[in-house]
Amino acid sequence: MLWMIFAVMTAAAVFAVVWPLARKSAASLGGSDRLIYQDQLQEIERDRAAGLIGEGEAESARVEISRRLLAAADAEARAAGAPAAAQAHWHRRAAAIAAIVIVPCVALGLYLELGSPNVPGQSAFTRANEVPNHQSIANLVKQVEAHLARDPNDGKGWEVLAPIYLRMGRFDDATTAWRKAIALNGDTPERESELGEALVEAANGKVTDEARSAFQRALAGNEHEIKARYFLGLADEQDGNREAAAAKWRALLQDAPPDAPWANFVHEALARVTGQPAAAKTPSAGDVASAGAKGPNASDMAAAATMPEAQRDDMIRGMVQRLADRLHADGSDVEGWLRLVRAYAVLGDRDRAKDAAADARRALSAHPDEVKRVDDLVKDLGLQS
């Protein structure tokens, strides 16, 4: 229907241009006036000879027609000094052909070459609010930050930005964002639990007093809040109270659904504090993919610190190696590269941390913003030399 409307509009516009060009000039309409007047003179002579008109009437008619004949002859003489009528007619025809054929064809060709005829139509509102696929996460974060700079009381904006900060490794920013989200949107168990996790990550895996308070507030609002229950168990383990940690994690596993993706991790934590083999379920393909994709975080590193040295080294290096293997197969995950560099630095392996940073720069060379994040982390960790 849209194309039909465009076709009708185009036809109307072309008709308005071509119509004047298609009209013949006044000099060419009806043939030559001179020949008509000559015929009229001969007809008058015949009528006079037949006695149909008198000599006086015939003479008056001859004078009038002769005058018109002279005027017509003068007009033909003037036309002979201008461009030939045939040539002028051809010019008008060429202009009409150009308007009808050439202009639409050229316009259609340019549109098919430079336009997007196969893209569905969108309203201006949709285009303005669409997230372009080619934009990096860093650019999108900058846009949200600019919005929040103009409207710092947008609680929804802070709540959207906070988990992104956490995934980017900007733990202090994530903590600030969650505090603002809670202040503006209200206190909920989920928000308190997210704030607690950000505080733990900012403290390099240590459950601080402030984080513990956040998790306790989360449990006060929802006694089944999974993240809060796990981290409070981790706090007990870090305080040396392994029995309390084991009790919390056993209760958490008892309430876990059969397909809980985090159950294996809690089983391992329970085995760590009890010294017994982990009675974990067989991991699904989704669990393995999730674990391999994430790599060790600050909580994993802190929890591993309480294990026997050999077991701890095997656990951490195995997780780091799996992350490294994945990144060398698919190096597009900037968060994974940042986590890998940070993990090597925590392990004290500066050379591998530098090598990982160099690999990250090569893999992310097409994304300058992401390379800058790698460079900033290298500076923060003191790996320049």
DSSP codes, 136-196: -HHHHHHHHHHHHHH-TT-HHHHHHHHHHHHHHT-HHHHHHHHHHHHHHH---HHHHHHHH
Task: Return d(Cα 197, Cα 206) in angstroms, integer.
Answer: 10
Highest mean pLDDT among 104-118, 266-280, 367-381 belongs to: 367-381
Q: Give the Cβ contact number of residue 269 at 10 Å.
A: 25
For residues 33-42, give the mean pLDDT: 75
Task: Return d(Cα 339, Cα 331) in angstroms, integer.
Answer: 13
The angle subtended at Cα 153 by Cα 160 and Cα 164, nearest 5°, is 20
Q: Is the dihedral of CA 292, 297, 300, 301 positive or negative?
A: positive
* pLDDT for 311: 57
In whole angstroms, how far apart are CA 175 and each of 10, 59, 191, 198, 201? 60, 116, 11, 5, 9
Q: Which residue has the higher pLDDT, 185 or 59?
A: 185
Measured torsion, CA atoms of residues 277, 280, 281, 283, in degrees rounded to the nearest 10: -100
Is residue 252 within 8 Å of residue 233, measured between CB atoms?
Answer: yes
User: In the structure, what pLDDT confidence band is assigned to residue 282 with cuts at 50, 70 and 90?
Assistant: very low
Is residue 182 within 8 Å of residue 176, measured between CB atoms?
Answer: no
Tokens standing for residue 24: 């013949």
Task: Return d(Cα 374, Cα 33) in angstroms, integer.
Answer: 92
Highest mean pLDDT among 20-34, 41-55, 113-127, 296-310 belongs to: 41-55
* pLDDT for 173: 93
For residues 125-136, give the mean pLDDT: 45
Task: Return d(Cα 237, Cα 248) in angstroms, integer.
Answer: 10
* pLDDT for 30: 42
Burial degree of 222 (CB within 10 A; 0-12, 13-18, 19+): middle
Q: Which amino acid is at 371?
A: V
Task: Return d(Cα 267, Cα 53) in angstroms, integer.
Answer: 132
Region label for 187, one of left (φ > 0), alpha (ψ between -120 and 50) or beta (otherwise): beta
Tokens standing for residue 18: 């071509």
For domain 308-385, which architecture applies?
Answer: Alpha Horseshoe (1.25)
Q: Is 29 in a helix, a strand, or coil?
A: coil
Give the chain's mean pLDDT.
76
First to last CA, the chain: 67
* pLDDT for 297: 52
* pLDDT for 266: 85
Residue ranges matching CATH 1.25.40 in the chain: 308-385
Task: Return d(Cα 208, Cα 206) in angstroms, integer.
Answer: 6
Is residue 237 within 8 Å of residue 212, measured between CB atoms?
Answer: no
Task: Return d(Cα 340, Cα 323) in angstroms, integer.
Answer: 7
Tokens standing for residue 11: 């036809």
Is residue 104 scored above 90 in pLDDT?
Answer: no
User: In the structure, what pLDDT confidence band is assigned to residue 158 with cuts at 50, 70 and 90?
Assistant: very high
Is residue 331 within 8 Å of residue 364, measured between CB atoms?
Answer: yes
- The tokens 């650019």 sit on which residue? 139
Is residue 211 within 8 Å of residue 232, measured between CB atoms?
Answer: no
Is residue 255 scored above 90 in pLDDT?
Answer: no
